[in-house]
Structure 1
Amino acid sequence: MTDAADMTRPKRIIVGSGAEAREIAILHRPATRRGAAAIVWLGGYRSDMSGTKAIELDSLAKRLGLAAIRFDYSGHGASGGEFSNGTISRWLEEAVAVLEDIKPKRVLLVGSSMGAWIALRLVQELGRRKRAPAVIGIVLIAPAPDFTAELIEPNLTEAERRSLDERGYFEEYSAYSPEPNVYTRALIEDGRENLVMTGIIETGCPVHILQGMKDPDVPYRHALKLVEFLPADDVVLTLIRDGDHRLSRPQDIEKILAATTALINE
């Protein structure tokens, strides 16, 4: 299915200043068609830009003559910074900085899991800025907007609450890595300042959501709830009956690429 993606040396930019400065790694494939949009990949919590979905989307961009923009949040993959310092605000700032550096005119955002939250906040931030790129569509994969408030806080155990109070973080088993997931008090508190499912979300563009019904991390009902907050947009929700959280099987990838291509061609 995949053309060999061109893995070039990442470009690096500095985001923040002083003690907050961190180096962000970017892979940018320029468009080969004049005026073509850029597919922007926004990865999930503890994922990076070398994952299957990111590479498949890069290959799609190459085949269609589009630009492709991938980057790693601070504390992830090839970027600098400490993962434990990460918050939604911090990673959103990095997403904005990447677009300000590359300066695409038109973008299609593809957000996976936590990246869907970043995508929805990014649309809001771009709407407040002059000369920001136009967002022509959004693809959300196993979207986890507001996951700190909606999925983590209500399910904290007494031991996890005590760890947050005493150590400033708690650890949780990860099915995707030998290392545990780490959730900090700063991430949870900052999450409350970035909630999007509190009122109507106006993206101004079509949205396609793909959600596995056997997702153990983000219940499919969370995607159904998200749709309720997008009444002003053209929204398509694809529920994949046997899909998990990653949605990285060949049949899942085909659906993601088809959804992306459809939005590009609208």
Structure 2
Amino acid sequence: MNKDDPAESGIERLMVGEGAAERAIAMRIDRPGSENRLPHVVWLGGYRSDMTGTKAAELARRAVELGTGCIRFDYSGHGASGGQFVEGTISRWLEEALAVMDHARSTLGTQRMLLVGSSMGGWIALRAIEELRKRGEGGRVGAMVLIAPAPDFTSELVEPNLTDAERNSLAERGFFEEPTPYGPDANIYTRALIEDGRANRVLEGLIDTGCPVHILQGMNDPDVPFTHAVRLMEHLAGDDAVLTLIRDGDHRLSRPQDIAKMLETVSSLATAVS
């Protein structure tokens, strides 16, 4: 790490995986105040996004204002982390998210977390609480805020809309590319990602998070229809779940008014579960 590089300033790295699968995960950790009683905030970004985005940065600033800790990180193949993007799967990125959460507990004394998952990060958050509950550690998550969540997006939103050309590309090349309005590079979807996505489905029964869940969803979202969030709510029937639909909101929900709603929701939940 070059500490003279502004982009690297404040980055900590965590090694995840073994042997050829080992990769360095880049994190930014804001330590809590000495008297903090609020849950620490953990940011789980979306597909091909990184921890320097507007929502992540504003969330970290709000955590500092509240006096609590905030952990941001990049999945492998994203942002400042190591690893190849085309090797990424939900299971791989979930492993990294859990490793970061465990690292936060061992280094910061984090006892409770407030998970904030954006798009694919919402799927990762739901799988993370599932894995933590299997360990008997579900109580570590005090609340969740899901922003335009995309659980099961590979099987629910990608596979049903594949063209013949994309199916052929998956079969022959192991991936296909799709143009995206969010950057100059096309999105890449691999056969491994899609097959692994099926093994990580959450929309198949009751999702028992054991904590309050608040979903923020734009009704003008071209990538994850708001009906997907409504369906997720049906699977969260046993929880203290709230869905806020933003009539003119898009997928990113990064306008000032959207950011304000996110920060208001996080602040309110953090205080309520402290």
Once the two structures are TM-superposed, the CA of residue 125 in structure 1 deviates from its matched residue by 0.8
Matched, 1:27 2:65: no
- Contact preservation (8 Å) 2:41, 2:69: yes
**1:77-119: CA deviations, max 9, x gaps?**
0000000000000000000111111212100000000000000
Q: Secondary structure in 2 aligned to 1:265? A: helix
How far apart are the structure 1 equivalents of 2:30 and 2:45?
Answer: 17
Q: Secondary structure in 1 aligned to 2:264? A: helix
**Bigger mean CA offset, 103-112 vs 125-134:** 125-134
Once the two structures are TM-superposed, the CA of residue 133 in structure 1 deviates from its matched residue by 6.1
Q: Secondary structure in 2 aligned to 1:139? A: strand
- CA spacing shift, 1:212–1:131, aligned 2, 3 Å: closer
Q: Secondary structure in 1 aligned to 2:146? A: strand
Once the two structures are TM-superposed, the CA of residue 37 in structure 1 deviates from its matched residue by 1.5
Once the two structures are TM-superposed, the CA of residue 130 in structure 1 deviates from its matched residue by 4.9
**1:108-156: CA deviations, max 9, x gaps?**
0000000000000000111122567611110000010000000000010
Once the two structures are TM-superposed, the CA of residue 8 in structure 1 deviates from its matched residue by 4.1
How far apart are the structure 2 equivalents of 1:262 and 1:34?
Answer: 15
- CA spacing shift, 1:126–1:221, aligned 2, 3 Å: same
Note the 1:39-50 alignment, pairs <5 A.
Answer: 39-50=41-52
- Contact preservation (8 Å) 2:38, 2:271: no
Aligned residues: 260
How far apart are the structure 1 equivalents of 2:79 and 2:239?
Answer: 33
Q: Secondary structure in 2 aligned to 1:195? A: coil
Partner residue in 2 for 1:3: none
Note the 1:204-243 alignment, pairs <5 A.
Answer: 204-243=210-249
Note the 1:1-266 alignment, pairs <5 A.
Answer: 8-32=9-33, 33-103=35-105, 104-130=110-136, 134-266=140-272
Query: Of Structure 1 and Structure 2, which has the larger fraction of its residues in helix?
Result: 2
- CA spacing shift, 1:138–1:204, aligned 2, 3 Å: same
How far apart are the structure 2 equivalents of 1:50 and 1:231?
Answer: 34
How far apart are the structure 1 equivalents of 2:221 and 2:27?
Answer: 29
Partner residue in 2 for 1:4: none
One-letter amino acid matched to 1:94: E
Once the two structures are TM-superposed, the CA of residue 49 in structure 1 deviates from its matched residue by 0.2
**1:231-263: CA deviations, max 9, x gaps?**
111111111111000000000001101111111
Partner residue in 1 for 2:3: none
- CA spacing shift, 1:133–1:49, aligned 2, 3 Å: farther
Once the two structures are TM-superposed, the CA of residue 29 in structure 1 deviates from its matched residue by 0.6
- CA spacing shift, 1:24–1:206, aligned 2, 3 Å: same
- Contact preservation (8 Å) 1:204, 1:233: yes
**Bigger mean CA offset, 128-137 vs 63-72:** 128-137
One-letter amino acid matched to 2:25: I
How far apart are the structure 1 equivalents of 2:137 and 2:221?
Answer: 38
What is the CA RMSD across the aligned residues, in angstroms? 1.1
* TM-score normalised over the length of structure 1: 0.96
How far apart are the structure 2 equivalents of 1:36 and 1:221?
Answer: 33
- Contact preservation (8 Å) 1:8, 1:27: no
**1:131-187: CA deviations, max 9, x gaps?**
676111100000100000000000100000000000000000010010000000000
Structure 2 residue ranges without an equivalent (≥5): 1-7
Once the two structures are TM-superposed, the CA of residue 36 in structure 1 deviates from its matched residue by 3.0
